[in-house]
């Protein structure tokens, strides 16, 4: 029972936290066909949290260029994946940052894919 309480508290802390805890970014892949333009995708290995049958983690996109209508340079995603269905994922939150690393916007509960 105590283990469940600790896991619950850690998951709440993770969900309510922002990107301050993300620290170990590892190159994942190049993204070419995004709506924001070509970018490089990174995965934070230190942010991975397993809660029952789900895994929560952070992804970072660093865009090659800012868009013509905005100054977005980085996108940070908090993702949730069901472990027995790895192709099913949900973006819990998305943060956008300008070229000066200032937060521009925050979008909670975006989508499932």
pTM: 0.71
How do residues 34-61 score in pLDDT, each as one tens digit?
888 899 999 999 989 998 999 999 999 9
Task: Identify any residues that bridge with 17 across adjacent strands, giving them in sequence order.
Answer: none
């Amino acid at each position: 029972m105590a283990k469940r309480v600790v896991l619950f508290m850690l998951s709440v802390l993770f969900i309510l936290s922002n990107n301050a805890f993300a620290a170990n970014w590892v190159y994942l892949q190049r993204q070419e066909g995004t709506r924001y333009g070509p970018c490089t995708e990174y995965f934070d290995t230190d942010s991975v949290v397993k809660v029952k049958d789900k895994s929560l983690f952070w992804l970072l996109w660093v865009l090659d260029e800012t868009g013509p209508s905005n100054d977005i340079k980085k996108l940070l995603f908090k993702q949730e994946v069901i472990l027995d269905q790895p192709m099913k994922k949900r973006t819990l939150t998305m943060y956008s940052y300008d070229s000066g690393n200032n937060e521009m916007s925050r979008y909670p509960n975006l989508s499932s894919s």
